[in-house]
Amino acid sequence: MKVGNLVGLVGWRGMVGSVLIDRMQAEGDFALIEPVFFSTSNAGGKAPAQAKNETTLQDAYDIAALKRCDIIITAQGGDYTTEVFPKLRAAGWNGHWIDAASTLRMKDDAVIVLDPVNLPVMQRALAKGGKNWIGGNCTVSCMLMGVGALYKAGLVEWMSTMTYQAASGGGAQHMRELLTQFGSIHNEVRDLLNDPKSAILEIDRKVLAKQKALTADETANFGVPLGGSLIPWIDKDLGLGKSQDDAEWGMSKEEWKGGAETNKILGQGPSFGTGITPVDGFCVRIGAMRCHSQALTFKLKKNVPLADIEAMIAQDNDWVRVVPNTREDTLRGLTPVVTTGTLNIPVGRIRKLAMGPEYVGAFTIGDQLLWGAAEPLRRTLRVLLQA
């Protein structure tokens, strides 16, 4: 049955939501839908310019108002989903729910959406009456956009990923805090930096003293200094594993998502167990603004020539960019700064590793607000409207 085009938008004002609205405008999505804008804080206010018939903001907690929508897209966050989604379904709403939050991702009736990688999984679910479409973890989505080709070809025996994740993954306040920390640290040594004869170890000593003396306000979000440092733990401690000899023991939630979500996106089952591809590694927060980077190690099922691997990756989708493994090309094309604000997913440093011919290394980067959050949502809207 054709899906109707009355689309409720919740969370459009936030960081992910704003990127989503920009992308929907850029791609002409608003020409295909009748948007209804919702707010958790300003019901009755003026809806943004894209609103056609519905120019007033609706209350995002009003189940009757939400129930009118054929499709709801939310980037409002997990607490909102937890509160509203069950009530809406309990009230008999049978529309399509597209969500950036992780709350529903691992539910059996939810599909993690990333159509350039798993359109067949999405279409199978749609044919069976699926209604819940959830955006994946940003790190996982960006990684699969880059190297999904190797999974599609059934080549991956296992993968290890070491991540370098941007401040934006924590939200807008985290980005502000990072910059505030950089500013405070710079202020501390500004005069010494301006003096070319000053001793670098004196600068270093003052920087460290300032990092250690950052105020509670300056570290309220990350808990510790991130400017000039890093944090090798992202998201909760899941407390999994019965003993420290279990693979899940000591895993952060972000690391757990790497394995669980990669396999679910690929339609290989949700988590640990048979039939899945082991994916594991360490997730690290660094002082980048909004691009997540990852160093990947693959054990392939067989020895594949490097040129074939590069060709497979390059041809997989319209956004992946294979960066030749030279110093010059890497500096020019494989950094968060060149990737930010684009839909490009550069994959570089592709090379055979010293462990043997089946071992391949790669480095990939993605804008975590675009492919990592907003883009899969708007593309899911298109998939539904075309169904």
Ligand X SMILES: NC(=O)C1=CN([C@@H]2O[C@H](COP(=O)(O)OP(=O)(O)OC[C@H]3O[C@@H](n4cnc5c(N)ncnc54)[C@H](OP(=O)(O)O)[C@@H]3O)[C@@H](O)[C@H]2O)C=CC1
| Angle at the Cα of 289 from the Cα atoms of 288 and 294, rounded to 5 degrees | 50
List strand residue ranges (DSSP E) for 21-164, in order: 34-39, 58-59, 71-74, 96-99, 110-113, 132-135, 156-164
145 contact, one of ligand PHD, ligand X, none, CB 5-8 Å limit per kind: none
Closest by Cα among 250, 226, 257, 229 to 142: 257
Phi, psi at residue 368, to the nearest 5°?
-75, -10
Tell me if 376 contacts ligand X by CB under 6 A: no
Choose which of 137, 181, 221, 364 interacts with ligand PHD (CB under 6 A).
137
d(CA 143, CA 365): 8
41 contact, one of ligand PHD, ligand X, none, CB 5-8 Å limit per kind: ligand X
Tell me if 227 contacts ligand PHD by CB under 6 A: no
Tell me if 44 contacts ligand X by CB under 6 A: no
Give 385's contacts (C-beta < 8 A, 6+ positions apart).
3, 5, 32, 33
Closest by Cα among 1, 34, 3, 51 to 384: 3
Of 85-114, binders to ligand X (CB under 6 A) are 100-101
Tell me if 254 contacts ligand PHD by CB under 6 A: yes
254 within 8 A of 139, measured Cβ to Cβ:
yes
Binding mask 151-170 for ligand X (x = CB under 6 A): -----------------xx-
Which residue, 16 or 122, is less far from ligand X as judged by CB?
A: 16
Tell me if 296 contacts ligand PHD by CB under 6 A: no
CA pseudo-torsion sign 237, 240, 245, 251: negative
Cα–Cα distances (Å) from 197 to 91, 185, 201, 205, 206, in that order, read 72, 20, 12, 16, 16
40 contact, one of ligand X, ligand PHD, none, CB 5-8 Å limit per kind: ligand X
Tell me if 75 contacts ligand X by CB under 6 A: yes
Count of beta carbons in the 10 Å neighbourhood of residue 212: 9
- Token pair for 118: 């798993």
Binding mask 311-340 for ligand X (x = CB under 6 A): ------------------------------
Task: Tell me whether residue 292 is one of the annotated catalytic residues.
Answer: yes
Annotated catalytic residue, options 69, 138, 283, 291: 138
350 within 8 A of 310, measured Cβ to Cβ:
yes
- Token pair for 88: 């809406």
Task: Tell me whether residue 138 is one of the annotated catalytic residues.
Answer: yes
Which residue, 235 or 358, is less far from ligand PHD as judged by CB?
A: 235
* Least CB distance to ligand PHD at residue 234 (A): 5
Which residue, 60 or 313, is less far from ligand X as judged by CB?
A: 60
Tell me if 257 contacts ligand PHD by CB under 6 A: yes
Tell me if 234 contacts ligand PHD by CB under 6 A: yes
Residues that bind ligand X (CB under 6 A): 11, 13-17, 39-41, 60, 75-78, 100-101, 138, 168-169, 171-172, 368, 372-373
By annotation, the residues acting in catalysis are 138, 292
Residues that bind ligand PHD (CB under 6 A): 102, 137-138, 165, 169-170, 234-235, 254, 257
